[in-house]
Amino acid sequence: MVPEEASRLLDDDILPLIAEANQLAGRIHPILRDSIGDLVRSMNCYYSNLIEGHDTHPRDIDRALANDFSAEPKKRDLQKEAVAHIHVQQLIDTGRDPDAWPASAAYASWLHEEFCSRLPPEMLFVTDHKTGERLEIIPGAWRKRDVDVGRHLPPPHEDLPRFIARFDTAYGSPPLSKTRQIQTVGAVHHRFLWIHPFLDGNGRVARLMSHALYKRLGIGTSLWSVARGLARDEERYKALLAQADGPREGDRDGRGNLTQRGLIEFCKFFLDRSVDQIRFMSGLLEPTTLLTRMEIHVEEEVRSKRLMRGSFAVLREAVMNGEVERAKIPSLTGYEERGARNVTSGLVERGMLTATSHRAPLRLAFPADVAERWFPNLYPANAGSRHDR
Distance CA(33)–CA(29), nearest Å, equals 6
b/e code 311-349 from CB counts within 10 Å (16+ = b): bbbbbbbbbeebbbebebbbebbebeeebbeebbebbee
Q: Is 100 annotated as a binding residue?
A: no
Q: What is the pLDDT of residue 389?
A: 32
Q: Is 272 annotated as a binding residue?
A: no
Q: What is the pLDDT of residue 384?
A: 54
122 vs 387, more confident? 122
Q: Is 310 annotated as a binding residue?
A: no
58 vs 387, more confident? 58
> Is beta strand 353-354 parallel, antiparallel or unpaired with respect to 134-136?
unpaired
Mean pLDDT of the chain: 91
Q: What is the pLDDT of residue 173?
A: 62
Q: Is 203 annotated as a binding residue?
A: yes
Q: What is the pLDDT of residue 5?
A: 58
* Phi, psi (degrees; rounded to nearest 5) at 294: -65, -45
Domains annotated for the chain, with CATH where assigned, are: 8-285 (1.10.3290.10), 287-374 (1.10.10.10)
Active-site choice (85, 189, 190, 196): 196
Q: Is the pLDDT of residue 238 over 50?
A: yes
In which band, very low, low, confident or very high, does the pLDDT at 388 lie, cut at 50, 70 and 90?
very low
Q: What is the pLDDT of residue 386?
A: 44
Q: What is the pLDDT of residue 381?
A: 74
Q: Is 150 annotated as a binding residue?
A: yes
152 vs 309, more confident? 309
Q: What is the pLDDT of residue 50?
A: 92
51 vs 13, more confident? 51
Q: What is the pLDDT of residue 172?
A: 77
196 is catalytic: yes
3-state helix, strand, coil in the chain (%, to 5): 60, 5, 35
The model's pLDDT over 321-344, given as tens digits with 9 standing for 90+, comes to 999 999 999 999 999 999 999 999
Residue whose C-alpha is closest to residue 166's, from 210, 104, 106? 104
The model's pLDDT over 352-385, given as tens digits with 9 standing for 90+, comes to 999 999 889 999 999 999 999 999 999 987 665 4
At 245, is the secondary structure helix, strand, or coil? coil
* Mean pLDDT, residues 95-120 taken together: 96
User: Which residues does 72 contact at the CB level (< 8 Å), separation at least 6?
Assistant: none
Distance CA(266)–CA(243), nearest Å, equals 8
The model's pLDDT over 144-190, given as tens digits with 9 standing for 90+, comes to 999 988 888 999 999 999 999 999 999 876 567 888 889 899 999 99
Q: Is the pLDDT of residue 220 over 90?
A: yes
Q: Is 204 annotated as a binding residue?
A: yes
Whether the Cβ atoms of residue 90 and residue 114 lie closer than 8 Å to each other = no
Q: Is 201 annotated as a binding residue?
A: yes
User: Which residues does 12 contact at the CB level (< 8 Å), separation at least 6?
Assistant: none
Distance CA(237)–CA(110), nearest Å, equals 25
Whether the Cβ atoms of residue 326 and residue 314 lie closer than 8 Å to each other = no
DSSP of 332-352, one letter per residue?
HHT--HHHHHHHHHHHHHTTS
* Mean pLDDT, residues 256-285 taken together: 91
Q: What is the pLDDT of residue 253?
A: 54
Any idea what the Cα angle at residue 281 is, between residues 276 and 286, rounded to 5°? 130
In which band, very low, low, confident or very high, does the pLDDT at 251 lie, cut at 50, 70 and 90?
low
